[in-house]
Every structure is written in C-alpha cells, then in structure tokens.
Amino acid sequence: MQLVLQIVANGLLIGGLYALLAVGLTLIFGVLRVVNFAHAEFMMLGMYGAYWLWAIFGLDPYVSVFLITPVIFLLGVAVDRVIIQRSIGKPDVTVVFATLGLSILLQNAALTLWQADIRSVSTFASGSVFVVGGVRLSVAMSVSFAAAMLFALGLWFFLTRTMYGKAIQAVAQNRRAAALMGIDVKRVYLFTYSVAVAAAGAMGVLVAPIFTIFPRVGQTHIVTIFVIVVLGGLGSVPGAVVAALLVGIIRAGAGFLLGTAWGELSYFAVFLLVLVVRPQGFFGRRGAEVYGG
C-alpha cells in the first residue's frame, strides 16, 4: 500500500510538471491553431538561464525565476512576431515545419554555445525531501508542482472570468467572428504565445535543481507533452491538466511494473489509439480535429 501511494505521489508530481508545459501548448493550439514543436526548447532555455545565473552569480533558481520568465516572455514576443504570425493561415506544411525548424535551431544553438555537457544546479532543494504519511516527497518537485497548479488555476480563472480572457476564448472559437466583434486578433495571438512559452521557461527554471540540463533535454519531454495534449483534447486547458496527471501516474506505474521502455510504449499505443478513435481527446470540442481555419 505504501509503495502504491509512493508511486502515485511520484507520478502526480511528474504529471504536475508536464501540466505546466501542456497547458501552454494546448492554449497555443486552441487559439492560434499552431502545434508549437519548439515549446520544450523554451523550457531548455529556462534551465540554462537558471544554470548560468546560479553558476556565475550564485542566484538560487527560486529567485532567478522572476528574472528569467520575463526574458523568455520577450523572446516569445519576438518569435511570435517573426515566425508564428507569418505562418498562421498558411498551408499545413508551413505551420508544422516553421516551429519544427525553430526547435532544431534553438537546440543546436544551445549545443553550439554551451556544448553537449550535462550540467546540474545544486541548491538546498536538490536532494531534500519531506515525509507525509510515510510518503517521501521531493521539495523541488513539490514546489514546481504547486507552481504548475497555481498557473493552471490562474489561467483558467483568467480565461473564464475576465474580459480579455473571454476575448481569447472568442478567438479560439472563431477568429473571423472575433475580429468582427472588434477583438485585436493579432494581439491575442501575441499575448497567448508569449504567456505560454514564458510558462514553459518558468518550468525549466523551477526544475533546474533536480533535472540534468543538456541541449536536447526538451526533446526528451516534448513527445510526452504531445501525448498529454492530445489525450486531454487539443485546446482544452482542464483536459491538459487532467491528462498530465494521468500520464504521470501511468508512466510511474507502468515504469515500475513493466520497466521504462514498455511503460513508454504503452502510453504511445494509447496515444495512437485515442488519435484514431477519438481525435478530439477526452475533453476537446467535437470537430476540433477537422477545423483548420
């Protein structure tokens, strides 16, 4: 029983981290209709930001997160202006391969600048754990889990309770009608994209004390994030959170029972099955998978 609880707790914590990435990715898809293949690269940049500020100035990631997140937000603004806005409304090949190209570029720019060395940040949070009811929880994981849940909750309130949030939802539902209602659609795109990638960057900073940092670290996570986002329904914020926690638990459980490789294989099989049988996912709007405009 203790073991089951421990596995579920580990899975939930990992799932929480995934949620922070998945919420942004699903929001970008829902609003811009762009699959942001470069999403996890912003997490990687956040990790390197945390590493350098720690290595050079001795800044704790829990402090530097407030410096790095705005920088990545601005980077998101630039990327949206230069790349994303130009690809919207273009054929599929442009929409898919523009962000894929960006992902290759960012990964290898990191590789060129900082080499393939595996780096790590060690702070008070790195190895420390606390015990609740016999279950050991990593401090750093719990902090990032809490941040992820706060972000998801805040985003949900923002989208459903504020005027600007409702404007974003309107663009997600029908960009032409929204434009006719006087919503500045381009501003909505810019805001959505930048907030989403800033969240990915913040997650990178928060997990820096526990995860190893290398140029291709984003790639090891992005496919899992895609699985989550499709399972939750591309475009659905609550769906992404639930699916992230589920995938975290499945991954931890299957990994324990079947070994890492077969655990991974099992959720890819589920992913393919869901795509084929129910492409709108569990929470997605019906017809989202055929709506391209």
Partner 1 sequence: MPIKSASLTSPSGQRIAFAVALVLLLCVPLVIRDIYWLDLGITVLIWASLATAWNISAGFAGGLSLGHAAFFGVGAYTSSLLFLRLGITPWIGVFVGALLAGALGALLGVITFRLKGPFFVLATLAFGIVVHIVNVNWRDLTRGAAGLLLPFRGGPQNMLFPNLWAYWYTGLGLLVLTVGISIAIERSRLGYYLVALREDEDAARSLGVRVVRSKVVAAALSAALAACAGAVYATFIQYIDPDSTTQFELSVQIALVAIVGGMGTTLGPVLGAAIVIPLGEILRARVGGGPALVVYGFLLMVIVLAAPNGAIAGVRLIGRRLRRLMDSGRKADA
Nearer Cβ to partner 1, position 4 or 82?
82
By CB under 8 A, tell whether 265 contacts partner 1. yes
The rounded Cα 100 to chain-centroid distance in angstroms is 16
* Residue among 111, 132, 150, 177 that touches partner 1 (CB under 8 A): 111
Nearer Cβ to partner 1, position 183 or 197?
197
Given a contact cutoff of 8 angstroms between Cβ atoms, the answer to whether 141 and 17 are in contact is yes
By CB under 8 A, tell whether 74 contacts partner 1. no
By CB under 8 A, tell whether 18 contacts partner 1. no
Q: Between residue 88 and residue 107, which ones bind partner 1 under the rule CB under 8 A?
A: 90-98, 100-107
By CB under 8 A, tell whether 118 contacts partner 1. no
Compute the least distance from the CB of residue 104 to partner 1, in Å: 3
* Residue among 5, 109, 129, 132 that touches partner 1 (CB under 8 A): 109
Structure token pair of residue 10: 């580990």
Compute the least distance from the CB of residue 192 to partner 1, in Å: 17
- Which 3-state string (H, E, C) describes the chain? CHHHHHHHHHHHHHHHHHHHHHHHHHHHHHHHCCCCCCHHHHHHHHHHHHHHHHHHHCCCHHHHHHHHHHHHHHHHHHHHHHHHHHHCCCCHHHHHHHHHHHHHHHHHHHHHHHCCCCECCCCHHHHCEEEECCEEEEHHHHHHHHHHHHHHHHHHHHHHHCHHHHHHHHHHHCHHHHHHCCCCHHHHHHHHHHHHHHHHHHHHHHHCCCCCECCCHHHHHHHHHHHHHHHHCCCCHHHHHHHHHHHHHHHHHHHHHHCHHHHHHHHHHHHHHHHHHCCCCCCCCCCCCCCCC
Q: Between residue 182 and residue 241, which ones bind partner 1 under the rule CB under 8 A?
A: 219, 223, 226-227, 230, 234
Nearer Cβ to partner 1, position 205 or 244?
244
Compute the least distance from the CB of residue 236 to partner 1, in Å: 15
- Kindly determine how many residues on this chain lie close enough to bind partner 1 according to the rule CB under 8 A: 46
Q: Between residue 129 and residue 188, which ones bind partner 1 under the rule CB under 8 A?
A: none
Compute the least distance from the CB of residue 263 to partner 1, in Å: 10
Binding site for partner 1 (CB under 8 A): 29, 35, 83, 86-87, 90-98, 100-109, 111-112, 219, 223, 226-227, 230, 234, 261-262, 264-265, 268-269, 271-272, 275-276, 279, 289-290, 292
